[in-house]
Amino acid sequence: MIKILFVVLATITLVQCVEHTVTTSSSKFNPKTLRILPGDTVIWTALMGGYNVAQVPSFQQAAYVNGSIRSGEPGEAASFAFTFNDVFLAEKSNGTNIFYFISELQGTNMTFTLTIGAETPTPTKIPTTTAITFNAATTTSPNQLFTIGAAILVAIFLIL
């Protein structure tokens, strides 16, 4: 019981929130896309010079909606940080945990996509059968086949 408690506590202390920096220059966000985990913070920097960050419903509906994330008027702040916690996800998630941002003066010419959540691993295809062929003309006597079969059974037994 104590070992299990120690492992759980050690695991909890290893989980850390991460800060991710997105820069702006030449009317572009860099990086253009980012995947983070809940609790991480995104910091947009170099917003002076007419840039800002505004969350939009999609790039097809690229207009700021009141109550969404916004750094202020374009050029108003040099940087802007936001922590994407579980409360934000519960209130603002569109079901996909993908969020879209623009700089309002540049519109869809300056876009940023944020995905929150761990990447879903691609399933690995495991072969279901393996063919083993014997060439009776060149190989084996019944005694050799018995030895090979016994070795295979021992190997399976040891694995299980």
pLDDT (mean) for 40-62: 92
101 phi and psi angles, rounded to 5 deg: -135, 150
Set out the domains of the chain in order of their start, with CATH numbers.
Answer: 18-116 (2.60.40.420)
Q: CB-based burial of residue 118 (10 Å sphere; 0-12 exposed, 13-18 middle, 19+ buried)? A: exposed
| Partners of 99 in beta bridges | 114
Q: State the amino acid at position 130 in one-letter form.
A: T
* Interval 61-102: pLDDT, tens: 888 888 899 999 999 999 999 999 988 887 777 678 899 999
| pLDDT (mean) for 37-52 | 93
Q: What's the confidence (pLDDT) of residue 70?
A: 95
Note the pLDDT tens digit of each residue in 4-37.
444 434 444 455 789 999 999 889 999 999 999 9
pLDDT digits (tens, 9 = 90+) for 116-141: 988 776 666 666 665 555 555 555 55
- DSSP H helices, the chain, are 2-14, 86-92, 142-159
Q: Quick one: residue 11, left, alpha or beta (phi over 0 = left, psi -120 to 50 = alpha)?
A: alpha
Q: What is the pTM of this model?
A: 0.65
